[in-house]
């Protein structure tokens, strides 16, 4: 029997160990970090295979829930943990590009970010979820300001302010729930939700929803996203979009479906999602800097996921989970590519990046990533969008579907413009990418193509969405 | 009985929120965040109060104890709040060293 | 304009939350009234969670301080997260303040002789008091976090009295790491022994004795050392005092 708690304990143990290792050898830090993430990925795969059979309840401290804390890993949680750990492993290869001191702190922060995101996905206790939300966000604040220039500090400051407001609201929501039910276990809360006063219940839901919305990049709490992504180091940007945003959205899904099985208020979630999509995609269209464009596009994609969750039918939520997978892989790829392009072209302006994609080691993965994010078959991005749309049709949200399609067209337009710039012939000479850049790019591209052509394993996982919607793990 | 504790703590949260949104000075904003934190901690503590209860340390003299869980949660929440404040202040110091000011408008102007 | 929006939002928050909390009785609660549901065994119990802690906490954890029992044993995983958060803060502050390390120190006036002598004298006592607080965390009010904060305050006193003083970074880092490894290590031993992470695997001993409550004192000593060294590290990084 494999213990999911290892996914949290191992990165933590090595984060505490790294200062001691650095006394002995500073050069080994990146390799140790990558090795730990590799170990974590293996454990995540084992946990996922175990959770596919039956949901795992890992009791901490030996006390039965709700007396003690329990980790609750269903098939979807295991799937998401696997995505996050895999993405972390691949991004950690790119992290070896980092040369800026203090590297020890950098690797400690990345390990703790991984620990926090894993914890958010795995935990089955609402206050524990808050603690891991804080671990994730404080690690993110530290990483966002790592460049120590004006842009980095400004982005980090915005993130700190919005993040702490968000966590205050999460705590208020927990206080409201606790004051009426005197329990903190998610399934216990879900079971006894009827005892709550209806008005208090709505306020608690709204508080938790807004609080986790900050991490999930929901409109209007996402004003930190472009500046933080812009100011953060390139590997960190990839981590934000593929790790912390995913754990935030999964926490949101837990709040919506596991804790409050709210069928009546889901239209609210759909509208928030739609606003997020529109805000992200339209602002992305007018951006001139590559990282800002990708950041706004990330907001748009997160909006699509929130919409899928809000539509609430099995098909739509399947689409939302597929979209989480495709976005984690595709955006991490694009941010790594963007990091290389900014380094090679010495600027963030897209107009200065002519012909940079003509090097096949960069160009082919980049093209695959963009097509997947645009939602073209046969890449993984297609299934997510398609299923969300199908879900919308089945619920009769025709107007919303039309708006969603319009936003998708905007998205296709700006990515097409980007492709045109990057692949047009140019006489400029760019430095060749090192293996730490093209290896992660190719790995992500392989995953995107593989599961795009052969998506059956993912659909096998998504069969469990129905049980998740019914309030299971 | 009017729950003064709830009203005071919610007022603290609302005031802190107002400061965070309305003020332009970084240090004031961080103080506002701290006020929100304090308000929530006060709220949690007052939820755990039981009339006539005493601190939950067993020595056999008291029949009624207050709810121990909110106290444990507040302990965690305080430490988390301290950590966020420390990081926010160090980011403010960093901004100050980069720009020589803690006024948000000035910083924004300097960037352009 | 911005102020008006802020004021409206703040008033809105006040009203919405106020109405929500108006439904919650203050003080007038009977902790026995709540009945919890065990999701693993899928059964309803007559007990409520806080009442169970108050009734059984001493027997199940060996700690007379029920808050400590909750913090370190029942919800020990939260405390591990909390320690991590503080560790993150000290790492993050260290990372953010790193660039300024080579900066020249401003001229600081020496404190007067009274402050210097008194702080030298008090330093040991404050550390002793902090250690007392975290060693007795399972018996009396207090615990690892307040104890660690007291220890850090003794270092803060030295910083104030001696402008040139700075704590040895390497030893702070080593103390921090070892304390953190102890905490996670205790958890992992529990996982090996009983297949529960953070399981209280030591004998409880007699309540109200110093050596009781199993692993709780060990964890609290680790937490105390860790919090002390981390807060000192944060103070040190923010002071920016380097030679």
Q: Helices A126-144 and A224-231 meet at what angle, rounded to 10? A: 50
Confirm if C88 and A139 have CB atoms less than 8 A apart: yes
Count contacts between A and B (CB, < 8 Å). 85
Give the separation between CA C139 and CA C119, rounded to whole angstroms.
30
Confirm if C70 and C58 have CB atoms less than 8 A apart: no
Give the separation between CA C159 and CA C165, rounded to whole angstroms.
6
Confirm if C157 and C117 have CB atoms less than 8 A apart: no
Domain, as residue range, for B68: 4-111
A178: chain B residues, CB-CB within 8 Å? 44, 47, 69-70, 73
User: If you average pLDDT over every residue of chain B, what do you get?
Assistant: 87
In sequence order, the 6+-apart residues with CB closer than 8 A to the CB of C144 are: C134, C137, C219, C220, C221, C222, C223, C224, C226, C227
Nearest CA in chain A to C57: A67
Give the separation between CA A297 and CA A278, rounded to whole angstroms.
10
User: Please, which residues bridge with residue A72 across strands?
Assistant: A57
The token pair at B110 is 């300097």
Within 1-20 of B, beta carbons closer than 8 Å to A belong to: 13, 17, 20
Q: Which chains touch A (3 or more CB pairs under 8 A)?
A: B, C
Number of other CB atoms surrounding residue B111 within 10 Å: 12
Q: In angstroms, how far apart are the furthest CA atoms of chain C?
A: 68
pLDDT for res B52:
80
The residue among A253, A244, A439 whose CA lies nearest residue A328 is A244
Q: What is the DSSP letter of C11?
A: H
B83: chain A residues, CB-CB within 8 Å? 134, 138
* Closest CB to B33 among A164, A172, A182: A164
For testing contact with chain B, the best of C32, C69, C89 (most B CBs within 10 A): C89
Nearest CA in chain A to C60: A63
The token pair at A414 is 């700006």
pLDDT for res C243:
38
Q: A378 preceded by cis ω (within 30°)?
A: yes
C86: chain A residues, CB-CB within 8 Å? none
Positive or negative, the CA dihedral A80, A83, A88, A89 is: positive
C-alpha count within 13 angstroms, C-beta hemisphere, residue A63: 25
Q: Measure Cα distances from A23 to A27, B45, C92, C174, C177 in Å.
A: 10, 43, 19, 9, 12
pLDDT for res C139:
82
Query: Which string of DSSP letters, residue by residue, matches A60-78?
Result: BTT--TTTS-EEEE-HHHH
Give the separation between CA C22 and CA C82, rounded to whole angstroms.
31
Positive or negative, the CA dihedral A365, A368, A372, A378 is: negative
The residue among A194, A200, A174, A197 whose CA lies nearest residue A186 is A174
Q: Measure Cα distances from C84 to A16, B80, C89 in Å.
A: 9, 10, 8
Number of other CB atoms surrounding residue B1 within 10 Å: 8
Give the separation between CA A410 and CA C211, rounded to whole angstroms.
67
Nearest CA in chain C to A186: C39
In sequence order, the 6+-apart residues with CB closer than 8 A to the CB of A155 are: A144, A145, A224, A227, A228, A229, A230, A231, A232
Within 147-176 of A, beta carbons closer than 8 Å to B belong to: 148-151, 153-154, 156-157, 160-161, 163-165, 167-168, 171-172, 174-175
Q: Does B18 contact C10 at a Cβ distance shorter than 8 Å?
A: yes
A145: chain C residues, CB-CB within 8 Å? 92, 95-96
A141: chain B residues, CB-CB within 8 Å? 84, 87-88, 91
CB of B35 within 8 Å of a chain A CB? The answer is no
Residue recorded with tokens 């454990």: A43
* Closest CB to A203 among C16, C92, C187: C16
Q: Does B76 contact C78 at a Cβ distance shorter than 8 Å?
A: yes
The token pair at C72 is 């370190």
For testing contact with chain A, the best of B17, B27, B70, B77 (most A CBs within 10 A): B77
pLDDT for res A263:
67
Give the separation between CA C204 and CA C198, rounded to whole angstroms.
15
Give the separation between CA A176 and CA A182, rounded to whole angstroms.
10
Min Cα separation C166/chain A (Å): 19
Give the separation between CA C241 and CA C243, rounded to whole angstroms.
7
The token pair at B36 is 């929100």
Residue recorded with tokens 């990925």: A41
Give the separation between CA C34 and CA A32, rounded to whole angstroms.
48
Give B7-10's long-range contacts (Cβ < 8 A, gap of 24+): B7/C18, B8/B42, B9/B39, B9/B40, B9/B42, B9/B43, B9/B46, B10/B39, B10/B43, B10/C13, B10/C14, B10/C17, B10/C18, B10/C21
The residue among A1, A139, A129 whose CA lies nearest residue A77 is A129
* Closest CB to C26 among B1, B56, B97: B1
Number of other CB atoms surrounding residue A26 within 10 Å: 11
Show the low-confidence residues of chain B (pLDDT under 70): 1-2, 60-61
User: Please, which residues bridge with residue C27 across strands?
Assistant: B50
Within 75-104 of C, beta carbons closer than 8 Å to B belong to: 75, 78-79, 81-82, 85-86, 88-90, 92-93, 96-97, 99-100
pLDDT for res B1:
58
Within 146-165 of A, beta carbons closer than 8 Å to C belong to: 146, 148
* Closest CB to B83 among C31, C75, C88: C88
Q: Measure Cα distances from A88 to A38, A41, A91, A242 in Å.
A: 9, 9, 5, 8
Phi/psi of residue A432, each to 5°?
-70, 145
Nearest CA in chain A to C45: A66
Q: A66 preceded by cis ω (within 30°)?
A: yes
Show the low-confidence residues of chain A (pLDDT under 70): 262-263, 473
Residue A59: its H or E element = strand A56-59
The token pair at C12 is 């809105």
Residue recorded with tokens 């755990």: B48
Q: Does B20 contact A141 at a Cβ distance shorter than 8 Å?
A: no
C237: chain B residues, CB-CB within 8 Å? 90
From first to last of its 243 residues, what are the pLDDT tens digits of chain C?
788 888 999 999 899 888 888 888 887 778 777 888 888 888 887 788 888 888 888 888 888 888 888 888 888 899 899 999 999 998 888 888 876 555 555 566 777 888 888 888 999 999 999 999 988 888 888 788 889 999 999 988 888 888 777 777 788 888 889 999 999 998 899 888 888 888 888 888 777 777 777 888 888 889 999 999 999 888 888 876 553
Phi/psi of residue A400, each to 5°?
-65, -40
Nearest CA in chain C to A471: C39
Structure ipTM = 0.93
User: Please, which residues bridge with residue A3 across strands?
Assistant: none
Q: Helices A198-215 and A150-181 meet at what angle, rounded to 10? A: 160
pLDDT for res C170:
82
Q: How many residues does chain A have?
A: 473
The residue among A272, A303, A227, A251 whose CA lies nearest residue A124 is A251
Q: Does A160 contact B80 at a Cβ distance shorter than 8 Å?
A: no
Helices (runs of H) and strands (runs of E) counted in chain C: 8, 2
Confirm if A370 and A417 have CB atoms less than 8 A apart: no
CB of C75 within 8 Å of a chain A CB? The answer is yes
Number of other CB atoms surrounding residue C107 within 10 Å: 6
Count contacts between B and C (CB, < 8 Å). 152
For testing contact with chain A, the best of B21, B91, B111 (most A CBs within 10 A): B91
- With H, G, I as helix, E, B as strand and everything else as coil, classify residue B103: strand
Q: In angstroms, how far apart are the furthest CA atoms of chain B?
A: 67
Give the separation between CA A195 and CA A175, rounded to whole angstroms.
15
C28: chain A residues, CB-CB within 8 Å? none
Task: Pick left, alpha or beta for residue C198 (phi over 0 → left; psi -120 to 50 → alpha; otherwise beta).
Answer: left
Specify the CATH number for the domain of residue B69.
Answer: 1.10.287.3510
Q: What is the DSSP letter of C237?
A: H
Residue A56: its H or E element = strand A56-59
* Closest CB to B40 among A141, A153, A175: A175
Q: Does A138 contact C89 at a Cβ distance shorter than 8 Å?
A: yes
Beta strands in A282-371 (DSSP E): none
Rounded to the nearest 5 degrees, what angle is found at the Cα of A263, between the Cα atoms of A257 and A266? 85
Q: Distance from first CA to last CA of chain C, Å, rounded?
A: 48
CB of A139 within 8 Å of a chain C CB? The answer is yes
Within 118-137 of A, beta carbons closer than 8 Å to C belong to: 119, 127-128, 131-132, 134-135
């Amino acid at each position: 029997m494999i213990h999911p708690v290892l996914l949290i304990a191992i990165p933590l143990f090595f984060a505490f160990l790294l200062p001691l290792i650095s006394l002995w050898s500073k050069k080994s830090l990146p390799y140790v970090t990558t090795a730990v993430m590799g170990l974590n990925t293996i454990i995540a795969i084992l946990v996922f295979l175990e959770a596919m059979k039956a949901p795992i309840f890992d009791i901490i401290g030996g006390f039965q829930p709700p007396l003690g804390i329990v980790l609750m890993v269903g098939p979807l949680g295991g799937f998401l943990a696997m995505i996050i750990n895999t993405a972390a492993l691949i991004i950690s290869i790119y992290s070896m590009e980092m040369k800026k001191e203090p590297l020890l702190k950098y690797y400690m922060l990345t390990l703790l970010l991984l620990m926090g995101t894993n914890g958010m996905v795995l935990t089955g206790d609402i206050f524990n979820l808050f603690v891991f939300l804080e671990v994730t966000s404080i690690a993110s604040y530290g990483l966002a300001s790592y460049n120590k220039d004006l842009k980095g500090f400004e982005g980090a400051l915005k993130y700190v302010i919005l993040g702490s407001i968000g966590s205050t609201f999460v705590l208020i929501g927990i206080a409201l729930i606790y004051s009426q039910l005197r329990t903190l276990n998610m399934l216990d809360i879900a079971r006894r939700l009827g005892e709550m006063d209806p008005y208090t219940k709505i306020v608690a839901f709204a508080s938790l929803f807004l609080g986790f919305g900050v991490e999930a990049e929901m409109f209007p709490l996402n004003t930190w996203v472009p500046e933080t992504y812009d100011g953060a180091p390139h590997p960190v940007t990839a981590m934000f979009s593929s790790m912390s945003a995913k754990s935030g959205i999964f926490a949101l899904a837990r709040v919506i479906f596991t804790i409050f099985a709210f069928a009546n208020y889901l239209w609210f979630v759909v509208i928030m999602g739609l606003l997020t999509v529109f805000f992200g995609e339209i602002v992305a269209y007018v951006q001139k800097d590559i990282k800002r464009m990708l950041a706004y596009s990330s907001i748009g994609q997160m909006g699509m996921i929130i919409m899928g969750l809000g539509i609430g039918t099995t098909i739509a939520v399947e689409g939302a989970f597929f979209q989480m997978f495709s976005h984690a892989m595709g955006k991490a790829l694009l941010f790594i590519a963007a990091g290389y392009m900014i380094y090679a072209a010495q600027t963030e302006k897209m107009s200065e990046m002519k012909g940079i994609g003509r090097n096949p080691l960069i160009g082919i993965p980049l093209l695959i990533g963009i097509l997947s994010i645009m939602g073209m078959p046969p890449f993984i991005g297609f299934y997510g969008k398609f299923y969300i749309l199908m879900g919308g049709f089945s619920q009769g949200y025709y107007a919303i579907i039309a708006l969603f399609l319009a936003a998708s067209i905007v998205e296709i337009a700006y990515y097409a413009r980007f492709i045109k710039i990057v692949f047009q012939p140019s006489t400029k000479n760019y430095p060749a990418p090192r293996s730490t850049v093209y290896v992660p790019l190719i790995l992500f591209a392989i995953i995107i193509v593989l599961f795009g052509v052969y998506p059956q394993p993912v659909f096998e996982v998504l069969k469990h969405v129905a049980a998740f919607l019914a309030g299971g793990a | 009985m009017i729950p003064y504790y709830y009203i005071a703590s919610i007022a603290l949260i609302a005031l802190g929120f107002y400061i965070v949104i309305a003020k332009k000075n970084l240090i004031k904003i961080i103080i506002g965040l701290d006020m929100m934190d304090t308000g929530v901690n006060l709220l949690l503590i007052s939820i755990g109060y039981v009339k006539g209860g005493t601190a939950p340390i067993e020595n056999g003299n008291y029949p009624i104890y207050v709810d121990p869980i909110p106290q444990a949660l507040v302990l965690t929440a305080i430490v988390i709040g301290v950590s966020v404040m420390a990081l926010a202040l160090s980011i403010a110091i960093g901004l100050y060293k980069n720009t020589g000011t803690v006024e948000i408008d000035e910083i924004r102007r300097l960037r352009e | 304009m911005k102020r008006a929006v802020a004021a409206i939002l703040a008033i809105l928050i006040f009203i919405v939350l106020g109405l929500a909390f108006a439904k919650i009785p203050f003080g007038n609660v009977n902790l026995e009234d709540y009945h919890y549901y065990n999701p693993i065994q899928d059964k309803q119990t007559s007990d409520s969670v806080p009442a169970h802690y108050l009734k059984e906490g001493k027997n199940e954890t060996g700690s007379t301080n029920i808050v400590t029992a909750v913090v370190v044993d029942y919800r020990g995983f939260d405390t591990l997260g909390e320690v991590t958060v503080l560790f993150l803060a000290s790492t993050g502050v260290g990372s953010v303040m790193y660039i300024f390390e080579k900066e020249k120190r401003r001229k600081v006036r020496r404190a007067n002789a009274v402050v210097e002598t008194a702080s030298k004298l008090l330093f040991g006592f404050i550390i002793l008091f902090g250690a007392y607080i975290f060693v007795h965390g399972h018996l009396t009010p207090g615990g690892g976090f307040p104890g660690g904060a007291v220890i850090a305050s003794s270092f803060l006193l030295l910083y104030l009295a001696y402008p040139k003083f700075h704590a040895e970074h390497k030893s702070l880092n080593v103390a921090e790491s070892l304390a953190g490894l102890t905490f996670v290590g205790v958890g992992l031993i529990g996982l090996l022994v009983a297949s529960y992470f953070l399981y209280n695997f030591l004998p409880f001993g007699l309540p109200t004795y110093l050596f009781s409550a199993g692993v709780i004192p060990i964890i609290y000593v680790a937490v105390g050392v860790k919090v002390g060294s981390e807060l000192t590290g944060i103070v040190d990084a923010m002071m920016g005092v380097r030679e």
